[in-house]
């Protein structure tokens, strides 16, 4: 018999798959790389695509569907990118969608790529994976292949709140899986970076801030070496975009990111990084709405966020607190909404289900879905208290 959690996951997976069904596969470039700053660069290599996207997880993620490359093309893309840098940075992000998922990156391909990276002067190699794909033997092999370099594993955790992760982002794993992945990766010799998403659908601005701060504390206390805060860029072919097009969602302002950094304890600042503050190029060319497109962001704010990434000093934001744009945003942020988070989700569920799954489907499944919504919410409140 299907459990309530499985039924809810199946619903959201079906919704996300239908929204993405018009994705047109793209021809991946022979090599793709960029230098972000003097110390950090990125190499994206073509792969068989995100298997989690195929299943239908993630309400906010869509980096396109690459045409499946050969093994030689995958390895060759990394080799060509490495040769294209004038000078290799000390930190290099080298990844596809999930380097530890053999459905995405075949094991032998991964081995060849890390042998290539071992011969470079780069000191830190960073790759991405899903918490459910982290296995000791695989991580240990990556660490060993890099021959003394630091292997940083970025995990797509998004939030340490199970309710938000399942009901708002549609990634149906639990915080206990996150703890296991962190423990396993660190035991295998890797550093762990927790990717945290800022801007989950249905949450208020204040809830975005509170969730990011709570998740930062919890992830770092659980053993992550650092966290990476990623504000939402609305990508086409996602539920976020579907809601945005109907006036039911807006991406967070970058003032939200600043507010998180102001409110979190200063002892955490050295372990927080920011990513996707500005729109970045990507081979999948996802059409998107960025926080800068949607909200006015003065250059002083962008500069301060960039400087924080270099200095880990949150006091640099103090002069911005008197900016009229911040004062206006802060007043709006403090406005109360009478609805609880599950109330907001419950109001949107019929619209989502009827438009995407059909009226008959919602008629048959409404009771089960809404019952599980409130059941999960009540369990989440018991856990908090």
The whole-angstrom distance between residue 334's C-alpha and the CA centroid of its chain comes to: 26
Q: Report the 10 Å Cβ neighbour count for 42.
A: 20
Task: Give residue 138's pLDDT.
Answer: 99
Rounded distance between C-alpha atoms, residue 60 and residue 251, angstroms:
11
3-state secondary structure of 112: helix
Is 70 exceeded by the pLDDT of residue 384? no
3-state secondary structure of 274: strand
For 68-127, the pLDDT digits (tens) are: 899 999 999 999 999 999 999 999 999 998 999 999 999 999 999 999 999 999 999 999
CB 215 within 8 A of CB 197: no
Task: Give residue 190's pLDDT.
Answer: 99
1 confidence band (pLDDT: 50, 70, 90): very low
* Class of domain 4-384 (CATH, top level): alpha beta
What's the pTM? 0.95
Tokens describing residue 83: 């040769």
| Strand ranges in 226-348 using DSSP code E only, listed in sequence order | 226-231, 234-235, 272-274, 288-289
Q: How far is CA 305 from CA 206, 229, 341, 351, 370, in A?
A: 19, 11, 29, 37, 40
Phi, psi of 169 (to 5 degrees): -110, -15
CB 191 within 8 A of CB 153: yes
DSSP line for 197-231? EE--TT--HHHHHHHHHHHHHHHHHTT-SEEEEEE
CB 263 within 8 A of CB 269: no
The Cβ-side half-sphere exposure at 226, using a 13 Å CA radius, reads 17
Task: Give residue 377's pLDDT.
Answer: 96
pLDDT above 90: percentage of residues in the chain: 80
337 confidence band (pLDDT: 50, 70, 90): confident
The full set of domain ranges for the chain reads 4-384
- The helix-helix angle for 136-145 and 107-118 (nearest 10°) equals 30
| More confident: 124 or 292 | 124
Task: Give residue 222's pLDDT.
Answer: 98
Is 70 exceeded by the pLDDT of residue 4? no
Task: Give residue 93's pLDDT.
Answer: 97
166 confidence band (pLDDT: 50, 70, 90): very high
Is 90 exceeded by the pLDDT of residue 37? no
Radius of gyration of the chain (CA): 21
Task: Give residue 159's pLDDT.
Answer: 98
Range 170-180 average pLDDT: 95
| More confident: 135 or 295 | 135
DSSP line for 131-177? GGG--HHHHHHHHHHTTTSEEEEEEEEE-S-HHHHHHTS-----HHH
Is 80 exceeded by the pLDDT of residue 175? yes
Mean pLDDT of the chain: 93
Query: Shortest CA distance to 262 belongs to which of 216, 199, 325, 294?
Result: 216
């Amino acid at each position: 018999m299907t459990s309530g959690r499985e039924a809810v996951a199946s619903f959201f997976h079906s919704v996300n798959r239908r929204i993405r069904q018009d994705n047109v596969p793209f021809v991946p470039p022979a090599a793709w790389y960029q230098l972000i700053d003097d110390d950090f660069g990125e190499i994206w290599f073509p792969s068989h695509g995100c298997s989690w996207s195929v299943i239908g997880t993630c309400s906010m993620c869509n980096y396109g569907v690459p045409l499946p490359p050969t093994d030689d093309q995958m390895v060759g893309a990394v080799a060509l990118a490495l040769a294209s840098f004038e000078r290799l940075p000390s930190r290099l992000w080298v990844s596809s969608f999930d380097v530890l998922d053999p459905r995405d990156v075949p094991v032998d391909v991964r081995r060849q790529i890390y042998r290539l990276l071992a011969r470079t002067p780069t000191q830190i190699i960073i790759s991405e994976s899903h918490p459910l794909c982290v296995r000791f033997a695989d991580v240990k092999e990556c660490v060993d292949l890099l021959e003394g370099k630091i292997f940083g594993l970025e995990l797509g955790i998004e939030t340490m709140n199970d309710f938000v992760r399942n009901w708002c982002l549609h990634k149906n794993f639990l915080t206990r899986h996150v703890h296991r992945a962190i423990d396993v990766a660190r035991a295998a010799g890797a550093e762990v970076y927790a990717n945290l998403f800022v801007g989950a659908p249905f949450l208020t601005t204040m809830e975005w801030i509170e969730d990011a701060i709570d998740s930062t504390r919890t992830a770092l206390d659980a053993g992550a070496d650092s966290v990476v805060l990623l504000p939402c860029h609305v990508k086409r072919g996602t539920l976020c975009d579907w809601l945005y097009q109907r006036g039911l969602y807006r991406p967070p302002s970058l003032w939200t990111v600043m507010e998180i950094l102001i409110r979190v304890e200063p002892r955490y600042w050295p372990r927080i990084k920011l990513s996707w503050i500005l729109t970045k190029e990507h081979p999948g060319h996802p059409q998107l709405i960025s926080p800068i497109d949607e909200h006015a962001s003065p250059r002083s704010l962008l500069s301060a966020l960039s400087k924080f990434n270099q200095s880990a000093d949150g006091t640099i934001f103090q002069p911005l607190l008197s900016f009229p744009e911040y004062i206006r945003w802060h007043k709006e942020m403090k406005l109360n909404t009478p609805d609880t988070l599950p109330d907001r989700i419950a109001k949107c569920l019929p619209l989502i289900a009827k438009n995407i799954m059909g009226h008959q489907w919602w008629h048959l499944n409404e009771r089960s879905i809404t019952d599980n919504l409130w059941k999960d919410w009540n369990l989440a409140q018991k856990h908090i208290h």
